[in-house]
Structure 1
Amino acid sequence: MSAGKSVRLFLADGTPGGLLTAEIMNWTGHIVAAPRSDLGALLKRPEAGRTGIYILLGDDPDSMGGSLAYIGEGDDVSKRLYQHSRPEDQGGKDFWDRAIVLTSKDANLTKAHARYLESRLITLAQQAKRAHLTNGTAPTPLPLPESDVSDMEYFIAQAKIALPVLGVNLFRSTTVSTTPAEPVASDQSSKASVSPLFEMRLKKDGILATAQENDGEFTVLEGSLARPSWIGVEDGYRRLREKLEQDGTMVPTDDGKLTIFSRNQVFASPSAASAIVSGRNSNGRTEWKVQSTGATYGSWQNQEIELDIGGNES
């Protein structure tokens, strides 16, 4: 069971869509997020004048539901954000509508630290493939002492916990464990963060797909097979499938009879995943089954509740 974390959020103007800050207890890092319409307020904050990292986020017009992102660093982050707020013909960037600033509460981040963080975060974002980066390549980080590298890796680990709380999933890896998790025992207080392996079979079509739930996300694994085309009614899942085909996530098999996942793909729900695999709407809670036991995803999901109720009744 993973140790708990306390993420403290503060809504600076009292609204969930405005400027907000995020901190983790005993972490020197500090995060400020704001929509572009609140950039003026963000630039006035003392954190924005420090050395740090910034992330610009916006919608990707060439991808349904996709995102564009830019990761940068600066000795004075506010100056870089101001530059990026200009029109593109004046050296700015037009795509973004939200800015995230990562700095240190103790103001101990140096230029070398910021360069290291920038390089590592760009690499992590490229590996996660959650958004299209407008950065070219990750810059070479400045050399750091071994102790500083350790500190920066801890900084990154904490940021990867806090940022998804703000809806920023840019660095969340889609890599999942290939070792099935142990079944939930009656004396456990929580399910493991990584689920057992699930599989979905369409025997008549020779289709076998595998998936795993990791940190609350349902991921279909690389190498999973799916129907060669959509056979259901016109809906959002069909458009999602077209997007996955266009971006190379789903490609034809060598014989052209099926499609195969070329990489791990996160879905909003098990039903979304089963719809893409089967090429039509389907109930993922019953279609996906635990590979080792044959229990449905729904049964696996409810087992902790049933154990808790049984324990309370006995």
Structure 2
Amino acid sequence: MTQGRSIRLFLVDGSPNGLLTAEIMNWTGHALTGPRSRLSELVKRPECSRTGIYFLVGPDPDNTARPLVYIGESDDVAKRLKQHNQPEEKGGKDFWERVCLITSKDQNLTKAHVKYLESQSIALTTAAGRCGLKNGTAHEYINLPEADQADMAFFIEQIRTILPVLGFDFLREAATKPVHADSSANTTLPSPTFELTLPRHNITAKAQEVDSDFIVLAGSQARTEWVGTDGGYKGLYDQLITDGVLVEGEGKFCTFTKDHAFSSPSAAAAVVSGRSANGRISWFVEGSKTTYGEWQAQQVECETIEAAEDIAQ
């Protein structure tokens, strides 16, 4: 069973919409985040004068279903953020709405460290596939001693832990092994396979739930075009076509070329169906008439009964 962690959050001005700092016990890293509208206050913070890595996050104009992210590093983060705040014609970036910067409380991060962290963060973000990346293709920075690489591997794992807590999900590792927890045995068991069929179009898709993701499995099929109304998950459908996740084959359907994580069963059902769909009633446990919603309710009921039995004992 995964061990619990403690994260300390501090609202700098007492407002949940203002500047926020975050720290993990026994980690030398320090996170500072805030909206672009509070940039004038953020750059005055002592953290911004340190060496660090930063993330600029905003909506992706080409796909409303995901954010757009720029990853950078600097010896003087405040200076770089001021440059990014300029209009694009002056070398700035218009898209971002929030910023998160990671520095070290003991100020032991060097320029080489943050260049390595930047390179690794770009590679991991690309692999996760949860956002559009403004950086484009980044070089691999390997000019770091082996011991320092080990230290930075631990450092970046803490970054991947703390960012989702702050509302930034793009660096979270893509799930690869479909499992769900069996709390009574402190083990993990394979998630059931869910199936969605569109008999009229000879389409079948299969999926499994992994952590908070709903994974449509490679080889699953989907409609060859979006037939629903504009908006909703149309942008996501179009993006999967563009990214080559959905490829039109010889039949009258598209095929998933690899496993793909969706934020919900409804998002997955919409892409497969080519229109808005309620995933809780569209997906069925394979080989049964149990919907995803019914299966989920059964899991909650089992946990409640087990908890009551533990209390009684």
Question: What are the Cα deviations for residues 245-288 of structure 1, in whole angstroms up to 9, with x where unaligned?
Answer: 355432312x1410122344333321221232123444322332
In structure 2, the residue matched to 1:67 is 67
* Alpha-carbon distance change, 158 to 135 in structure 1, aligned in 2, over 3 angstroms: same
SS in 2 for 1:66: strand
Aligned match for 1:270, one of 265, 271, 285: 265
Distance 1:163 1:70 in 2: 14
1:241 aligns with 2:220: no
Distance 1:181 1:58 in 2: 32
Aligned match for 2:291, one of 293, 296, 314: 296
Any conservation in 2 of the 1:193–1:215 contact (CA below 8 Å)? no
* Larger strand share, 1 or 2: 2
Any conservation in 2 of the 1:174–1:264 contact (CA below 8 Å)? no
1:3 aligns with 2:6: no
Distance 2:48 2:181 in 1: 47
Note the 1:51-130 alignment, pairs <5 A. Answer: 51-130=51-130
SS in 2 for 1:8: strand
Distance 1:31 1:78 in 2: 14
In structure 1, the residue matched to 2:278 is 283
In structure 2, the residue matched to 1:307 is 302
Structure 1 range deviating more: 288-297 or 84-93: 288-297
In structure 2, the residue matched to 1:207 is 203
Any conservation in 1 of the 2:212–2:263 contact (CA below 8 Å)? no
Note the 1:208-223 alignment, pairs <5 A. Answer: 208-223=204-219
Q: In structure 2, what residue type is equivalent to 1:112?
A: A
Number of residue pairs matched by the alignment? 309
- Shift in Å, 1:223: 2.5
Identity %: 51
Question: What are the Cα deviations for residues 84-138 of structure 1, in whole angstroms up to 9, with x where unaligned?
Answer: 2222233222222211101111111111111110110011112222222221422
Distance 2:36 2:196 in 1: 43
- Shift in Å, 1:48: 1.0
Distance 1:182 1:57 in 2: 31
1:181 aligns with 2:176: no
Distance 1:89 1:237 in 2: 32
Any conservation in 2 of the 1:6–1:25 contact (CA below 8 Å)? yes
Any conservation in 1 of the 2:60–2:68 contact (CA below 8 Å)? yes
In structure 2, the residue matched to 1:225 is 221
Any conservation in 2 of the 1:58–1:95 contact (CA below 8 Å)? yes
Given the two structures, how large is their TM-score scaled by the length of structure 2? 0.86
Structure 1 range deviating more: 110-119 or 15-24: 15-24
* Alpha-carbon distance change, 26 to 303 in structure 1, aligned in 2, over 3 angstroms: farther
In structure 1, the residue matched to 2:255 is 260
